[in-house]
Amino acid sequence: MSTGSADTSPEASQAALAAPSAAPPSWPWRRAALFLAGAAQLITISALVGADPIAATWSSRLLAIAPALLAAAAAFAPAPINLLAAVAGVVVLVAGIAGQATHTGLFFVPALVTLAVGGVKLWREQS
């Protein structure tokens, strides 16, 4: 039997657990905002092209196009751009939710909350 080169001592496993994570604290929030915005965006697109479509107003078009793109930029863009994308995403979501509150706007509230929390955490990380 050959012994592996991996160190399996308790000290090594504790050191591995104590190692700092490479992901910043805002990353899970920004990633969740991306998933939630994408899901709500698909619902809005389905409502626009479905059997009983909603009116294609500025707010429905805004919610069908912009949220997932801005959340993706907030999640994956480099440092100065991702904070701007998070702020722009929050503004777009607030405007879209206000315009579509009676139709599909409320599906974007979880994405708004997670993007806002992720943006605040990101701002604290960068300052």
What lies within 8 Å, CB to CB, of 61 at 6+ separation is none
State residue 20's pLDDT score: 61
State residue 47's pLDDT score: 95
Q: Please, how many CA atoms are within 13 Å of residue 43, restricted to the half-sphere of its CB?
A: 14
Q: Which of 49, 69, 60 is nearest to 104 (CA)?
A: 60
CA distances from 57 to 5, 19, 60 (A): 63, 50, 5
State residue 4's pLDDT score: 55
Query: Which DSSP state fits 103?
Result: T
Other C-beta atoms closer than 10 Å to the C-beta of 88 total: 16
> In a structure prediction context, what are the per-residue pLDDT tens digits for the chain, which is 127 residues long?
555 555 566 665 565 555 566 789 999 999 999 999 999 999 999 999 999 999 999 999 999 999 999 999 999 999 889 999 999 999 999 999 999 999 899 999 999 999 999 999 999 999 8
**Cβ–Cβ < 8 Å for 89, 115:** yes
